[in-house]
Amino acid sequence: MWRPDHGLLAQQLGDHFGIALEGRPLPSKGGFPAFELSPLNCPPADAFRIAVRTQWRSLHLTFQPGAYAGELVLQMGRASPERRALFVQLAGKCEAERARISFSVNGAALRVEAAESWPEEWRRLDLALEKSPATVNTESFADNDGEVFSWTRRFTGLVLALVPLEEDVSDEDEVGGYEGLPEGAAIRVAVNRYERSRINRAACIELQGSVCKVCKFDFEEAYGDTGRGFIQVHHVTPVSEIGEGYRINPAKDLVPLCANCHSMVHRRTPPFTVDELREIRFRGKRTGRISGL
């Protein structure tokens, strides 16, 4: 019988988001496998869990804050407009893939896309995603694993879009507000420590896909499961030119590129735009100046 490898999944998603995660099995319902993910080495009562339950051809994922995670929920409600916008974008991508998202704050159901109308004081957060039909509990273990990975990755990204962030300061320093994070700064999350750049990278891939925007190279198509979700991410504006305090928008400021195109885009200062490099490559193919094509 198929069982998802929750340990491997925690490792893969931890690498993807730059967060140390651990996975644990959950009691099955109806004989269908279930598991949960949570930040590693964090007090469970103060952190959160993501529960993943499979049923016959369906997936159910829920955000579950710890018993004493009221401050975490409160600060998620105070996420900056940029982080709220990212949450809306990621939720829209999930819904475009025919998933259903349930989103309630303080017991009242909210429209995900109407971020401007969300209350600011969050005492309770109920967030869940259902994908049905889903390719799980089938005879193809590889298809089952791929489906679980994809939707757990998407839902984890949705949660992390709102997780409170603060600048990484020493213990004796006063901690400021939770107004997002300047790109490149070392940060601390209320439940763990990681780099914002990794979260932005993951959001870029989720929103724009993992196919190179210049040459259309697809790592998963070329390398199978090993290449699933892998791509480099290019800053449209070089990091060195980004002003202090600028907050990266993963949908506009980042673009997925393969290693070859990422190298080529930096062959000039300032870097080529994606459109410029695509035109250069097209001209090379047309004139036969790209070897092997």
Of 251 and 211, the structure prediction assigns the larger pLDDT to: 211
pLDDT in tens, 41-61: 888 999 999 999 999 999 999
CA distance 288 to 30: 60
Q: What is the mean pLDDT of residues 19-28?
A: 94
> What is the helix (H) or strand (E) element at residue 99, kind and residue range?
strand 99-105
Q: Is residue 213 predicted with pLDDT exceeding 90?
A: yes
The HSE-up count of residue 127 (CA atoms within 13 Å, CB side) is 25
Give the whole-number percent of the chain exceeding pLDDT 70: 85
Taking alpha carbons only, the member of 247, 138, 133, 132 closest to residue 182 is 247
Predicted local distance difference test score (pLDDT) of residue 287: 57
Neighbours of 67 (CB within 10 A): 8
HSE-up of 237 (CA within 13 Å, CB side)? 12
Q: Give the separation between CA 182 and CA 191, rounded to whole angstroms.
A: 19
Rounded Cα distance between 7 and 146, Å, is 15
Does pTM top 0.85 for this prediction?
no
Is the predicted pLDDT of residue 76 greater than 90, yes or no? yes
Contact 148, 4 (CB under 8 A): yes
Whole-number pLDDT of residue 80:
87
Cα torsion 242, 247, 253, 255: sign: positive
Q: What is the distance between the alpha carbons of residues 199 and 206, in angstroms, rounded to a whole number?
A: 10
* 285 pLDDT tier (thresholds 50, 70, 90): low
Q: How many residues does the chain have?
A: 293
Strand-pair partners of 255: 234
Cβ 32 vs Cβ 61: under 8 Å:
no
Q: How far is CA 275 from CA 141, 185, 241, 249, 263, in A?
A: 40, 30, 20, 19, 15
285 or 181: which leads in pLDDT: 285
- Which pair of tokens denotes residue 223? 């390398």
Region 72-89: mean pLDDT is 92
Alpha-carbon distance of 156 to 264, in angstroms, equals 33
Percentage of residues of the chain with pLDDT beyond 90: 66
Mean confidence (pLDDT) of the chain: 85
Q: CA–CA separation, 212 vs 147, rounded Å?
A: 22
Q: Between residues 174 and 184, which one has the greater pLDDT? A: 184
Report whether pLDDT(217) > 70: yes
- Where are the chain's structural domains? 6-200, 211-287
pLDDT at 194: 35
pLDDT 10s digits, 229-275: 899 999 998 777 777 667 788 988 999 999 999 999 999 988 999 99
Q: Rounded to an integer, what distance in angstroms lies between the CA atom of residue 145 and that of residue 123?
A: 35
Find the helix or strand (DSSP H, E) in which 214 lies: none
Q: Which of 80-89, 91-100, 180-189 has the lowest mean pLDDT?
A: 180-189
How far separated are the first and last CA of the chain, in Å rounded? 45
Average pLDDT over residues 188-207: 66
Is residue 167 pLDDT above 50, yes or no? no
pLDDT at residue number 170 = 32
Asked if the model's pLDDT at residue 189 lies above 60, the reply is: no
SS3 44: helix
pLDDT (0 to 100) of residue 239: 73
Query: Would the pLDDT of 204 be above 50?
Result: yes
